[in-house]
Amino acid sequence: MRKIINLALAATMTLGLTACSSNSSTPASTDSSSTTTTTPTAETRTLKFAALETAYGADVWKEIGAAFEKATPNVKVEMTIDKNIEDVIGPTMKSGDFPDVIHLAVGQKKGLTETFIKDNNLTDLTDVLSMKIPGESVTVKDKLIPGFTDTTITNPYSDGKTYLMPMFYSPCGLFYNAGLFEQKGWKVPTTWDEMWALGDKAKAEGISLFSYPTTGYFDAFFYALLNEVGGPEFFTKAMNYSEGVWQTPEATQAFDLITKLASYTEKTVPANANKDNFQKNQQLILDNKALFMPNGTWVVGEMAKAPRADGFKWGFTSLPAVKEGGDRYSYTFFEQMWVPAKAQNADLAKQFISFLYSDEAAAIFAKVGAIQPIKGMSEKLDGDNKLFYSIYDNGAKASMGAFATTDSVEGVNISDTTFGTVDSLVTGAKTEQQWIDAITKASDALRGALKK
Amino acid sequence: METTKGRGRFIFFCLTPAVILFIIFLIIPTIDVFRMSMYKWGGYTDDKTFVGFQNFTKLFHSDKFYQTFQNSVLLIVIVTIVTFAFSLLFASVLTREKLKGQNLFRIIFYIPNILSIVVISAIFSAIYDPNSGLLNSFTNLFRSATETPTLWLGDQKIVIFSLAGAMIWQAIGYYMVMYMASMANIPDSLYESADLEGASRTTQFFSITIPLIWVNIRTTLTFFIISTINMSFLFVMAMTSGGPDGATEVFLSYMYKEAYTNSSYGYGMAIGVVVFLFSFALAAILNAVTKRDNLEY
């Protein structure tokens, strides 16, 4: 996710004029698609597909497009894939011309997907779940790993309807240097108490317990922690801004844990916790200067060329349990694909999405390391990926979802309030109580704006 | 009679293209910002609702906005004063004193202005790095290495000044060249007669140089306001992303965050309107208080 953001921002800085050039083809196609919708004959129809170019590259989408064209006669896929996709499709959308399918996850800096959710501008995709996958005898629902379409992200209006389809997923948890643990004979902690004990032991050797790339990485961490302290029900309550939820003993426990963790964090981390320097914080793990960091599987590729300590080996674990034998959680990050409400070829878009879950498409995606939440996918993996994706087979529970969608509330940003403050906890600029008060205030402001 | 009419028509047709361009690219967008600030709008689609001045009332009740306001004003004040002092000093040294390699210095001072902000941010991120940075390596000479290093970009109390440091470094050359240009126009005879009268360099600087480039100084003060507001956004985006925990959030970065990340485009435009009015008012005030009789030479 961070990688995507970084790519997008790096591209923004170079101020690519690509925005103009790749746009030029859209006006012409508007005519053709509007005429085809009125006369749905054997004529060739055009599906307009827009996607953010991420670490997986643009070629994989072209391959998918070609495969879909082959599988469905009389359909042409017109692709717009760009690192600044918001800037490319934004202007035409303002004038009322929308792509049919958009692959762009929530959590991006420009918040395009969030804006569409908040404006109720999405097409209901629930019926995609019961659609037969082209060329196969099973439905999309049969193939998907259960749980992925029951989250606050995919069903933003909590009405049981799915508006965003889960695409590529990645488990998030704590990354560490497994080599170091072997050398020192340390055990990877399974409870937070063991974690603190290890922290004190490491401190004696001049190693900090914890580092984090930027405070944004606390989302996955915090969501998983909320599940550990209070279970999924409590998590859902917290994500829906229930009144008084932040004053419960469970929430207090979570806040206490993070505050304590802040005191075990490498002191220089806040100085580098921005998108320019966050890799320095990740480097702390590679240099054996800190033991754990919250991250996602993309970090391996991101740090592939970085220097590392002798005997370095990536290790990956879910969060330690709050008490002996308690549940351990690992947050699942996934990207989403959706159809704007005003898309002209919504039916074709749904067909396209269902095609993406076919064995043929999954194989194309897997080639570039993009793993979809399809049953049995994780068994086909090898190397580091096998370790990462098998985390749920090793006893960790999956947690999914995020703060529930609301109508936009000006000046209130719950993610910033909740996660951004961790910097201040580490530097000591704010106290735990100030943090909780701010979250409560933001949560109260958002409750009234919840989507109903 | 015929000729004046013809000339009037000629002038009209000559001016029309420029006026049309001016209206399309300057007047209309500005009015549009004001109009947009009255809407609740996500920014990407064509659904918007008119909400009147609601965005503004919310804005004036937001602590976050006051924090960004403080940060921006602090930056404007520090950057203006320090840059102004240094560039005046350097300009006067380079024009008045006989130094070897004057041109070289002029180029060196001007180079930061040519560099892109992203490059400057990368340079200063390296300088401010807590462990291997230039600044901390230097301060480590005076204290034990086991102490916690100063977090130039990580300590909420320091970070805004670190940002100002980078901005000043970037701006000095530009203003220096502007001051040098007008200083070069001051006739040497004035300084020669001052020398004969026994006036010191400092007296000459304050009694001759400053009054004679006053018009130029007034212009640059307006530049300082505008460029600090704009530049601080670029520096914040490239160096700190507004962090740690919003300590370096400035006008435009907050506007960007609200308009895009928080899907409140209308609210973002309201911030834009406030910034517009604020910088206009500030420039007007500065212009009024610095008004002096124009000196001729």
pLDDT averages per 10-residue partition of chain B, 297 residues = 81 94 93 91 81 91 91 95 94 88 88 91 91 86 76 90 94 93 91 92 91 92 93 91 88 91 90 94 92 79
Domain that holds residue A381: 45-169+332-399
* Predicted local distance difference test score (pLDDT) of residue B1: 57
Q: Which DSSP category does A401 fall into?
A: -
| CA pair distance A113, B267, nearest whole angstrom | 18
**Six-digit token string for A439:** 């979250």
A343 contacts A349 by C-beta, under 8 angstroms: yes
Note whether residue B205 is domain-resident. yes
Residues of A in contact with B120 (CB under 8 A): none
b or e along A275-301 (b: 16 or more beta carbons within 10 Å of the residue's beta carbon)? bbbbbbbbbbbbbbbbbbbbbbbbbbe
- In a 3-state reduction of DSSP, which class is residue A132? strand
Domain that holds residue B165: 58-289
Concatenating the DSSP letter of every residue in A247-258 gives GSHHHHHHHHHH
Note whether residue B190 is domain-resident. yes
| CA pair distance A404, A452, nearest whole angstrom | 11
Whether A110 sits inside 8 A of B58 (CB atoms) is: no
Of the residues B32, B36, B39, B44, the best mutation for testing chain A's interface (the one with the most A CB atoms within 10 Å of its CB) is: B44
Note whether residue A27 is domain-resident. no
User: Nearest Cβ partner of A119 from B42, B62, B152?
Assistant: B42
Note whether residue B42 is domain-resident. no
Domain C-terminal end among A293, A308, A330:
A330
Are A60 and A71 members of one domain?
yes
Whether A427 sits inside 8 A of B58 (CB atoms) is: no
- In a 3-state reduction of DSSP, which class is residue A164? strand
What parts of chain A have a pLDDT lower than 50? 1, 7-40
A97 contacts A30 by C-beta, under 8 angstroms: yes
Q: What is the pLDDT of residues B35-91, one digit of tens each?
A: 999 998 887 777 788 998 999 999 999 888 999 999 999 999 999 999 999 999 999
Whether A274 sits inside 8 A of B262 (CB atoms) is: no
* Predicted local distance difference test score (pLDDT) of residue B2: 65
Are A56 and A147 members of one domain?
yes
Are A182 and A278 members of one domain?
yes
Residues of B in contact with A423 (CB under 8 A): 154, 243-245
- Please return the burial class of A441, using the count of CB atoms within 10 Å of its CB with bins 0-12, 13-18 and 19+: middle
Whether A115 sits inside 8 A of B261 (CB atoms) is: no
CATH of the domain at B162: 1.10.3720.10
A416 contacts A256 by C-beta, under 8 angstroms: no
Whether A420 sits inside 8 A of B128 (CB atoms) is: no
H helix or E strand, kind and range, residue A331:
strand A329-338
Asked if A206 has any chain B CB less than 8 Å from its own CB, the reply is no
Domain C-terminal end among A399, A422, A441:
A399
- In a 3-state reduction of DSSP, which class is residue A271? helix
Note whether residue B5 is domain-resident. no
A232 contacts A151 by C-beta, under 8 angstroms: no
B128, closest residue in chain A (CA to CA): A271
Residues of A in contact with B261 (CB under 8 A): 109-111, 413
Are A128 and A145 members of one domain?
yes
Nearest-CA distance A407 → chain B (Å): 9
CATH of the domain at A72: 3.40.190.10
Are A80 and A182 members of one domain?
no
| CA pair distance A374, A441, nearest whole angstrom | 39
Contact residues for A277 (Cβ-Cβ < 8 A; gap 6+) = A271, B125, B129, B153
Note whether residue A258 is domain-resident. yes
Are A70 and A121 members of one domain?
yes
| CA pair distance A202, B78, nearest whole angstrom | 43
Contact residues for B71 (Cβ-Cβ < 8 A; gap 6+) = B160, B247, B248, B249, B250
Note whether residue B109 is domain-resident. yes
| CA pair distance A124, A171, nearest whole angstrom | 27
Does this model's pTM top 0.80? My answer is yes
Domains: count for chain A: 2
Note whether residue A36 is domain-resident. no
Q: What 3 state SS string does A403-417 have?
A: CCCECCCCCCCHHHH
Residues of B in contact with A427 (CB under 8 A): 151, 154-156, 244
Residues of B in contact with A411 (CB under 8 A): 58-59, 62, 64-65, 258, 262, 264, 267
Note whether residue A425 is domain-resident. no
Residues of chain A numbered 242-281 and touching chain B (CB < 8 Å): 267-277, 280
Are A223 and A265 members of one domain?
yes
Residues of B in contact with A280 (CB under 8 A): 129
Are A308 and A201 members of one domain?
yes
Are A197 and A93 members of one domain?
no
Note whether residue A17 is domain-resident. no
Q: What is the pLDDT of residues A321-343, one digit of tens each?
A: 998 888 899 998 899 999 999 88
Q: What 3 state SS string does A355-382 have?
A: HHCCHHHHHHHHHCCCCCCECCCHHHCC
Are A296 and A381 members of one domain?
no
CA angle, residues A254, B243, B135, in degrees to nearest 5: 120
Q: The complex's ipTM?
A: 0.84
Concatenating the DSSP letter of every residue in B81-145 gives HHHHHHHHHHHHHHHHS--TTHHHHHHHHHHHHHS-HHHHHHHHHHHH-TTT-HHHHHHGGGS-T
Domains: count for chain B: 1
Q: What is the pLDDT of residues A144-190, one digit of tens each?
A: 887 888 888 888 887 888 999 999 888 899 999 999 999 999 999 99
Asked if A431 has any chain B CB less than 8 Å from its own CB, the reply is no
Are A272 and A356 members of one domain?
no
Are A267 and A294 members of one domain?
yes
